[in-house]
Structure 1
Amino acid sequence: MPDSPAAEIVEKVGGPGNIESLTHCATRLRFQLRDGDLVDQSGIESLPGVMGAVPQAGDRFQVVIGGGVQTVYNEIMALPTMTGDEEGDVDDAAAIKARERAKGPRGKVAWLDTLFEFLSDSFRPILGALLGASLFITFMALMATLGVIPSWNAPGVVLEPSWAFINLMWQCVFIFLPLMVAYNASQKIGADPWVGFAIMAVVMLPGFMALGQDATAQQIVFLGSDITTVPVFGIPLTIFDYSSQVFPPLLMAAVLGPLWKGLKKIIPTNLHLIFVPFLAMLIMIPLTAFLIGPIGVYAGAGLANLLSSINDFSPFIFAIIIPLAYPFMVPLGLHWPINAIMLLNIQTLGYDFIQGPMGAWNFACFGATAAVLVLAWRERDQAMKQTATGALAAGLLGGISEPSLYGIHLRFKRIYPRMLVGCFVGGLIIGIGGGVRTEAFVFTSLLTIPAFQPLALYGIAVAAAFITSMTLVLIFGYKPKPTAEEAAAVGDSGTVAAPTAGSGAPAAATAGAAVGGAATATAVRPTTATATADAGNAPNVGAALQIMSPLDGRAVPLSDVPDPVFAGGTMGPGVAIEPSGDTVYAPGAGTVAAAQPTGHAFGLVLDGGIELLIHVGIDTVNLKGEGFDVKVHNGDRIEVGTPLVTFDRAVIEKAGYPLITPVIVLNADQFDAVDPIELGPTTAGAPLLSVETKAAD
């Protein structure tokens, strides 16, 4: 049996022979493994000091430690089995790889991971616009249902100008969706996003569609579809309406990326600004119009027809399969192509049949989250209350399942079987009722229920899915059953005491190490006179303390952070800041517990006992200090306004890393509540978080 946490981690990732390389950031151990199937994830997550585990594609695996990551990393690297001083049973690397190849695809293939990241990042930035548009659509559907307006999207219906204008409020998003996707996908692939935008814009111009009215245009049948072609320099150009299409811009960007990089290699640097965009457009505009665009249209139509055929064959089975499959599709990113097909269904069929059954999954997911929230209130689990409240609000109001999935359900595997029962019940009701349709792309939330028909059938189905999941999780719980040691630690409240984040190390130190790439600055300011405490002493119980903003920018919920560990509250509660400036300041007096040499993260211990982590950007540790000018060192005393780090926004943005900066309270379990004071615009030194000390017993 291993005699140290470090040795246990090594053993549970498959032993030293399964570790190809190991690095760390401010909060996580980052393993590159030879065989990801050898990992005992549940065993790792049960170890004291481990805050979570995140499997990734390409046999990459992350272990979330927090502030003590440097110590654990050093202990692992010092193990005799890691240094080669001790012999062990190590599988031959070639044998491991051969065994892996024999297993076939497992969803952990590097190129597949890259593909889904590409799809995800092409859509994620426009989710807000899609969500806003979906609420306009729901409003129009509700008005039509109440008889205020005629069927707003039926062929030949003409709305009066007032309602027609409201209709334009959602059409602006979906008609120009290809341009938005082209911009995001081009940026993700490493090309100039505005060039990608311009390339896609050519086939969306009114003049492009007008070519189909030319006297030389011909009507032909291709793959069973009537299409219009017009000769351009003797080559037939296919005329499509590319509004709402998503597959053509995705394919265009996938080709533009390698071309862009190739042009930059062969063209002298001082000519990049002019000739790389020019040649890229010269090549890609005809290629997109003549080849890539039509291929994208037909590829999307083919996938849509396949799913439509399955639904036509058995709507009952389809309505059950979709909600049962989605809990596994979303973590893999497989839902992004399905979203594209939903949009295509609406454009070609005039309705979509996938979103209704998908709603059963979403509401089963939200029901499980609601149960976790109730249990967290009973157990006085402040961190989980905050996580579940944010996730439930994002779900019921926005139809977004990721905060629930990443923040709760994938961390507590007992939830999944209960949630799947809810998915099945909701899908079963839709199947028995003959299916549900919607004539617009909407997010399946409480607010968009009126967009589905039959309305009563859909409402009953999602309510049943929600109640079933919630009831089962309330009855059976969501946490693993406590061990004998944990049972001995049950306090007067009857709840199991959670292990400390640092496994013996002060939470403050953990906060510092946990910071994996952000500058942190916080101030503790009592809001009442009785809360005042001398430096280094704990504040009076029951006082409300304030943490000040370390940055100029915009404060947003942690759920907006594009990283499940931060977004799910694994590290602790807090907020995130989208910075507008380039300097992180200390907003209060305290000590620097950990100043990462890469400058991307800082851990502070503030006077009054709050341990804070500020992480500048996401994955900025990969820059290895480039673009960061660190102003402080470990152990330094800081006061209000002390600069912690200055960062070069251009370097970070060029590398493609988000600048959003989480500000996390690492020892939140020592306080009664950690709540944002106000979201929205903020300046360095302005109140950011309120921390309520525990009242005296």
Structure 2
Amino acid sequence: MSPDTHRATAAAILPLVGGPDNITSVAHCMTRLRIGLRDRALVQDESLKALPAVLGVVDDDTYQIVLGPGAVARVTPEFEALVEEGRAGEPRAAEPPRPVTAAGLADRGAALREARKARNATPLKLFLRRVANIFVPLIPALIGCGIIAGLAGVLTNLGWLPTLVPALAAIASGFMSLIAVFVGYNTAKEFGGTAILGGAVAAIIVFPGVAKIEAFGEHLSPGQGGVLGALAAAYLAVRVERLCRRWVPEALDALVTPTLTVLVAGLATLFGLMFLAGEVSAAIGAFATWLLAHGGAFAGLVLGGLFLPLVMLGLHQALIPIHTTLIEQNGYTVLLPILAMAGAGQVGAAIAVYVRLPRNRSLRTTIRSALPAGFLGVGEPLIYGVSLPLGRPFVTACVGGAAGGAFVGLFNQLGVAFGSTAIGPSGWALFPLLHGGSGMGPTLAIYGGGLAVGYLVGFLATYFFGFTRQMLADLDTDPDPEPTSTTEPAKQPALT
């Protein structure tokens, strides 16, 4: 897509979310444009979902518009620029004509999402989503450094370019050695504190001089507690800063508040949080290793089967701190290849839907456009556009993910442990990031076998159990035989 296309997409979205004056914040993750709104009532949900570039919407603590990988990173800057132009009184691009689409399944999917969201908007889950927002901006660096680390490992094993390998290792390791600082910075920013103070407190964790400090009868080690310690330290700094803002006189605020914030939170970090977070981090690593070593097949079945619902609810990002902790400890996270099997089940289910509904041109077009992203592990287009609105195929996709997860988990149980050196990619995109102690050959073969099992079981489960007779009768028709003139919505299928 050209830059003009990305700007046109941004220009089409802006008036449908209430215009520039209704926007309070703009950000994006790997697939979603995340917008803070002043007045939610000004958003035109159905018109947004009708835009060709929009794969779905999620109404959460921020309003999230699913644009897909790659596209969202290019549309977001254009959207921000249009917001600024609008606030400055500069002319904006005219809204393009509203396209005509088959909206039946999308409407049903939106209703399901709203019902599930209402049931799941608990304080704990909202807090977990805020924690996820801390780590999402770090994913691009994790991906880039992970791939570079993998390249360095390949060159080392092959004995090629020995003078380049140390440089690649330094590039790959630099970010990870200071990731606690970035986590602290984002934590303070997310929870309403001064971001740089959060980073300053978290920097204590990676400072080499902490090795001279004793807490709970043991000398601390640089990096102890990792990202969990950094998150806790920065959150404490936010609480201390808020107390200072409330009680410190304005004339002394610039001097006293940052000093007390760093001092109090820093001492608590050195003499408590680093040790406690280190124990929690060690427990997470030990539990993950034990779980897959003793119950790998069953654990993989459960994790692979339940991951799609987490993605649907946006809660999958709450696992990022756990993945990051495992990468800090072991160099890779053993959980991600298993969770990636959920995407394989989704792909298999979508292909079965494509085969079972040969007359439904609209839905088959949606599947063809979303499958490439699905093979690369981005499941949201297929979830929101295909399986979730249909109901049963969403369940059968989870069955495929469970089968693939059980396959990968079984080999972990048999001693062939491996994982991903970074988080973010999935599906085929995860191959360059795989690492294990049994060599690249077995690692790639097992992961590829898991994907194949997920595809096959997801396809078979959906083909044979994904539809009732009434669903096939309602869906296996062309809902838009004359797309240039039809404006009526598609008939709602009977979902049972």
- Tell me what 2:426 maps to: 444
Superposition deviation, residue 247 in structure 1? 1.0
Cα 1:498/1:489, change in 2 over 3 Å: farther
Three-state SS of the structure 2 residue aligned to 1:438 is strand
Cα 1:394/1:127, change in 2 over 3 Å: farther
Residue 395 of structure 2 aligns with an amino acid whose one-letter code is P
Cα 1:165/1:402, change in 2 over 3 Å: farther
- Tell me what 1:172 maps to: 174
Superposition deviation, residue 410 in structure 1? 3.5
Superposition deviation, residue 121 in structure 1? 0.4
- Tell me what 1:609 maps to: none
Q: Percent identity?
A: 19
Residue 429 of structure 2 aligns with an amino acid whose one-letter code is L
Matches for 1:629-644 after TM superposition, within 5 Å: none
Alignment partners' CA distance in 1, 2:331 and 2:114: 38
Alignment partners' CA distance in 1, 2:474 and 2:400: 34
Report if aligned partners of 1:116, 1:333 keep a CA contact under 8 Å in 2: no
Aligned pair partner of 1:293 in 271, 274, 277: 274
- Tell me what 2:214 maps to: 230
Alignment partners' CA distance in 2, 1:337 and 1:268: 38
Superposition deviation, residue 176 in structure 1? 2.0
Alignment partners' CA distance in 2, 1:358 and 1:415: 19
Matches for 1:660-679 after TM superposition, within 5 Å: none
Residue 445 of structure 2 aligns with an amino acid whose one-letter code is A
Matches for 1:258-657 after TM superposition, within 5 Å: 258-269=239-250, 271-332=252-313, 334-349=315-330, 352-369=333-350, 379-381=360-362, 385=365, 389=369, 391-397=370-376, 399-406=377-384, 408-433=386-411, 434=414, 436-438=417-419, 440-442=421-423, 443-449=425-431, 451-453=434-436, 454=442, 455-470=444-459, 472-473=461-462, 490=479, 492=481, 499-500=488-489
Report if aligned partners of 1:199, 1:285 keep a CA contact under 8 Å in 2: yes
Cα 1:359/1:269, change in 2 over 3 Å: same
- Tell me what 1:139 maps to: 151
Residue 175 of structure 1 aligns with an amino acid whose one-letter code is S
Three-state SS of the structure 1 residue aligned to 2:325 is helix
- Tell me what 1:218 maps to: none
Superposition deviation, residue 303 in structure 1? 2.9
Alignment partners' CA distance in 1, 2:315 and 2:268: 28
Cα 1:456/1:487, change in 2 over 3 Å: closer
Residue 144 of structure 2 aligns with an amino acid whose one-letter code is G
Residue 269 of structure 2 aligns with an amino acid whose one-letter code is T
Report if aligned partners of 1:49, 1:500 keep a CA contact under 8 Å in 2: no
- Tell me what 1:163 maps to: 165
Report if aligned partners of 2:225, 2:273 keep a CA contact under 8 Å in 1: no
Report if aligned partners of 1:264, 1:272 keep a CA contact under 8 Å in 2: yes
Alignment partners' CA distance in 1, 2:143 and 2:194: 26
- Tell me what 1:130 maps to: 142
What does the per-residue CA deviation read over 1:532-590, in whole Å, with 9 as the maximum and x for residues that have no partner?
xxxxxxxxxxxxxxxxxxxxxxxxxxxxxxxxxxxxxxxxxxxxxxxxxxxxxxxxxxx
Q: Which has the higher contact order (CA 8 A, sep 6+)?
A: 2
Aligned residues, how many? 387
| TM-score normalised according to structure 1 size | 0.47
Three-state SS of the structure 2 residue aligned to 1:203 is helix
Cα 1:242/1:259, change in 2 over 3 Å: same
Cα 1:393/1:168, change in 2 over 3 Å: farther
What does the per-residue CA deviation read over 1:613-670, in whole Å, with 9 as the maximum and x for residues that have no partner?
xxxxxxxxxxxxxxxxxxxxxxxxxxxxxxxxxxxxxxxxxxxxxxxxxxxxxxxxxx
Q: Please state if 1:184 is matched with 2:166.
A: no
Cα 1:417/1:165, change in 2 over 3 Å: same
Report if aligned partners of 1:363, 1:462 keep a CA contact under 8 Å in 2: yes
Cα 1:60/1:436, change in 2 over 3 Å: closer
Root-mean-square deviation (CA, aligned residues, Å) is 4.3
Superposition deviation, residue 474 in structure 1? 6.3
Report if aligned partners of 1:322, 1:358 keep a CA contact under 8 Å in 2: yes
Report if aligned partners of 1:135, 1:448 keep a CA contact under 8 Å in 2: no
Aligned pair partner of 2:195 in 183, 193, 200: 193
Q: Which has the larger radius of gyration?
A: 1
Alignment partners' CA distance in 1, 2:315 and 2:107: 33
Cα 1:488/1:190, change in 2 over 3 Å: same
Structure (1/2) with the larger strand percentage: 1
Report if aligned partners of 1:412, 1:480 keep a CA contact under 8 Å in 2: no
Superposition deviation, residue 197 in structure 1? 0.7
Three-state SS of the structure 1 residue aligned to 2:426 is coil
Report if aligned partners of 2:342, 2:454 keep a CA contact under 8 Å in 1: yes
Report if aligned partners of 2:346, 2:382 keep a CA contact under 8 Å in 1: yes
Residue 321 of structure 2 aligns with an amino acid whose one-letter code is A
Report if aligned partners of 2:143, 2:422 keep a CA contact under 8 Å in 1: no
Alignment partners' CA distance in 2, 1:355 and 1:486: 35
Residue 421 of structure 1 aligns with an amino acid whose one-letter code is V
Alignment partners' CA distance in 2, 1:439 and 1:484: 44
Report if aligned partners of 2:297, 2:409 keep a CA contact under 8 Å in 1: yes
What does the per-residue CA deviation read over 1:421-443, in whole Å, with 9 as the maximum and x for residues that have no partner?
21132133324443541372343
Superposition deviation, residue 376 in structure 1? 9.4
Report if aligned partners of 2:202, 2:230 keep a CA contact under 8 Å in 1: yes
Cα 1:128/1:188, change in 2 over 3 Å: same
Alignment partners' CA distance in 2, 1:129 and 1:388: 30
Superposition deviation, residue 403 in structure 1? 4.6
Three-state SS of the structure 1 residue aligned to 2:130 is helix
Alignment partners' CA distance in 1, 2:59 and 2:478: 32
Cα 1:378/1:288, change in 2 over 3 Å: farther
Report if aligned partners of 1:23, 1:31 keep a CA contact under 8 Å in 2: no
- Tell me what 1:215 maps to: none
Alignment partners' CA distance in 2, 1:319 and 1:48: 31
- Tell me what 1:52 maps to: 110
Three-state SS of the structure 1 residue aligned to 2:391 is coil
- Tell me what 2:158 maps to: 148
Report if aligned partners of 2:359, 2:476 keep a CA contact under 8 Å in 1: no
Structure (1/2) with the larger helix percentage: 2
Unaligned 5+ runs, structure 2? 1-38, 47-57, 61-102, 437-441
Unaligned 5+ runs, structure 1? 1-21, 33-44, 62-105, 151-158, 212-228, 504-697
Alignment partners' CA distance in 2, 1:478 and 1:437: 37
Residue 182 of structure 1 aligns with an amino acid whose one-letter code is G
